[in-house]
Each structure stands twice: as structure tokens, then as C-alpha cells.
Amino acid sequence: MAAFLQILVNGVLFGSMYGVAAIGLSLIFGTMQIIFIAQGAMMILAAYITYWVFTLTSVDPFFCFVLIIPIFLGIGWVFYTGLFSRVAAAGKNPSLLLAFGLMILLENLMSLAWTANTRAVTTSYTGMGLTVGNIQISFTRLVVFLISLLATGLVFFFMKKTLWGKAVRAASENIKAAALLGISPRRVSGITFSIGIALAGIAGVATATTYPFDPYFGFVFSLKALIAVAFGGIGSVGGAMFGGILLGVIESVSSYTISGGWADAISYGAFLLVLMFRPQGLFGRSAAS
């Protein structure tokens, strides 16, 4: 029983990273109507920044959470205004291709610049953990989990309580009607894209502090984030986080009960099941939208 709880806890802590990236994906999909497949690549970029900041300056990698947010908000804005907004008029397929191209470009640039060797951030406290009852909780993963919850809370607050957050929700539901109220589709897409990229950044810093990574990790992470969104449903911030945690738990349980290799197969299997029987996810909008 204790072992099972341990697996559960591990899954929840790890899954919260998927959740953060998934919220970003969900937001971007809400206004731009595309799956931003480069989300994982952006995460890995943030992971590399964390790695290099730590390696070169010995500054605590957790400091990168603070550093990355404004940088990635800025990168998101630049990518949107420089790339995606220009392609938006041409439709969804060009936007999808652009995201795909961006992913390939980033992965290969990172590989060129920093080699494809696996990197990991090891600090003085990397191996440390807390023991609660019979359960070991890795310190880094706990911090990451708390930060993920904080990020989720902030996004949720933004969407529910601020005027622009409501504008984003409105535009995600009906972009034409929102425009008639004075809400610029371009502005709204720019805002959600920036937030989405910033969330990828947070997930990336989290990855760097808890897991070894390489430039090509990004694609798998994008897939996992997508699965999390499928579980939780598009349009729900809490749902995306829940989906991420659910995925983390599924992977953790599968890894333990069957084997590591099967964990992926089972995750993708669950993904297929959800798509077949509940495509709107657990908390998402109805299938009609």
C-alpha cells in the first residue's frame, strides 16, 4: 500500500509539469485554433537556459523560474507578432506548419549549439528528499509541483478576474462576436500565445531541475502535453492541470506495475480511448464546439 501511495505521489508531482505545458497548449488552441506542436521544444529551450545559467554562474536553478517568465513572455510576443500573426490570415494549416517548422528549427539549433548529449542539472540538494510517513518526496519535485500549482492559480486568476482574461475566454468562444465588442483578435491571440510560451518556459525550468534532457525530448513532451489536454478538455485551465496529473499518475503506475517501456504505450492507449469515448475531455466544452 505504501508503495502504491509512493507511486501515486511520484505521478502527481511529475504530472504537474505536463499540466503546466498543457495549460499553455489549451490557451493557444482556444484563440488560435492550432495545436502548438513546438510547445515541447520551447520547454527544452527553457531547460537549456536553466542548465547554462546554473553551469556558468552557479546561481540556483530555481531562480530561473523568475528569470524565464519575462523572457519567455517576450519571446512569445515576438513569435506571435513576427511569425504567427502574419500567417493567421492564411488559415490553420499554414499556422500548423509554421509551428512544426519552428519545432524542427529549434531542436536542430539547440543540437548544433549544445550537442545532443543529455544534460542534467545537479545541485547540492538534487538527491534530497522529505519523508512523510512511509513516502519519500523528492525535494526538487515537490518545489516544482508547488510552482506548477502557483502558475496554474495565476493563470486561472487572470482568466477569471481580469478584463483581458475575460476577453480571452470570450474570443475563444466566439471570435467574431468578441471583435464586435471591440476585442482585437490579434491582441487576444498575442496574449494567449505569450502566456502559453511562458508556461512552456516554466515547465522547461521544472524539467531541467528534475530530469535529464536532450534537444529531442521536446517532441515527446509536446505529445504528452497534448494528451493531458485531451484528458482534461480544451478550454479548462484546471482541466489541463488535472489531465497532466492524471497522465503522470498513469505513467507512474504503468511504469511500476508493468515496465517503463509499457508506460508510454499505456499513455497513448489511454489517449486513444479518451478521443474515442470522450473527445471533449473530462472538463472541456461540449462536443458541439
Partner 1 sequence: MVKHLLEVSSVDIFYGDAQAVWDVSFCVDQEQIVALVGANGAGKSTLLDTISCIIRPSRGEVLFQGKPINHVRPEEVAELGISHVPEGRGLFSRMTVLENLELGGFPRRTRPFFEESLARAFDMFPVLKKRIHQRAGSLSGGEQQMLAIARAVMAKPVLLMLDEPSLGLAPVIVKLMFEIIQALNREGVTILLVEQNVHQTLEIANHAYVLKTGRMELSGKGSELLRNPDFKQAYLGMKG
238 lines the binding site for partner 1 (CB under 8 A): no
170 lines the binding site for partner 1 (CB under 8 A): yes
Which of 209, 236 has the CB closer to partner 1? 236
Q: Which has the closest alpha carbon to 29: 284, 252, 260?
A: 284
Which of 31, 210 has the CB closer to partner 1? 31
Site string for partner 1, 176-205 (x = CB under 8 A): xxxxxxxxxx--------------------
End-to-end CA gap in the chain: 42
Pairing of strands 135-138, 129-132: antiparallel
Site string for partner 1, 123-162 (x = CB under 8 A): ----------------------------------------
Which of 169, 278 has the CB closer to partner 1? 169
Which of 84, 271 has the CB closer to partner 1? 84
Contacting range for partner 1; rule: CB under 8 A; set: 9-17, 59-67, 164-172, 196-204: 164-172
Tell me the C-alpha distance between 15 and 221, whole Å: 11
Tell me the C-alpha distance between 110 and 208, whole Å: 15
Which of 278, 285 has the CB closer to partner 1? 285
28, 155 in Cβ contact below 8 A? no
Bridge partners (DSSP) of residue 135 are: 132
State which of positions 260-289 bind partner 1 (CB under 8 A). Answer: 285
Tell me the C-alpha distance between 96 and 182, whole Å: 27
Which amino acid appears at position 1 of this protein? M
Helices 217-232 and 2-32 cross at an angle (nearest 10°) of 90
163 lines the binding site for partner 1 (CB under 8 A): yes
173 lines the binding site for partner 1 (CB under 8 A): yes
CA 214, 69, 251 angle in degrees (round to 5)?
A: 45
Q: How far is CA 81 from the centre of its chain?
A: 21
166 lines the binding site for partner 1 (CB under 8 A): yes
Contacting range for partner 1; rule: CB under 8 A; set: 54-62, 81-89, 100-108, 172-180: 172-180
- The least distance separating partner 1 from the CB of residue 173, rounded to whole angstroms, comes to 5
With cell 506548477, the residue in question is: 148
Q: Which has the closest alpha carbon to 240: 227, 222, 251, 255?
A: 227
With cell 462576436, the residue in question is: 177
- The least distance separating partner 1 from the CB of residue 28, rounded to whole angstroms, comes to 18
- The least distance separating partner 1 from the CB of residue 179, rounded to whole angstroms, comes to 4
Which of 17, 183 has the CB closer to partner 1? 183
- The least distance separating partner 1 from the CB of residue 174, rounded to whole angstroms, comes to 6
CA atoms lying within 13 Å on the CB side of residue 277: 6
- The least distance separating partner 1 from the CB of residue 276, rounded to whole angstroms, comes to 25
215, 110 in Cβ contact below 8 A? yes
Give the count of residues interacting with partner 1 (CB under 8 A).
19
Binder to partner 1 among 93, 122, 136, 174 (CB under 8 A)? 174
3-state secondary structure 37-80: CCHHHHHHHHHHHHHHHHHHHCCCCCHHHHHHHHHHHHHHHHHH
Interface residues with partner 1 (CB under 8 A) are 163, 166-167, 169-170, 173-174, 176-185, 235, 285
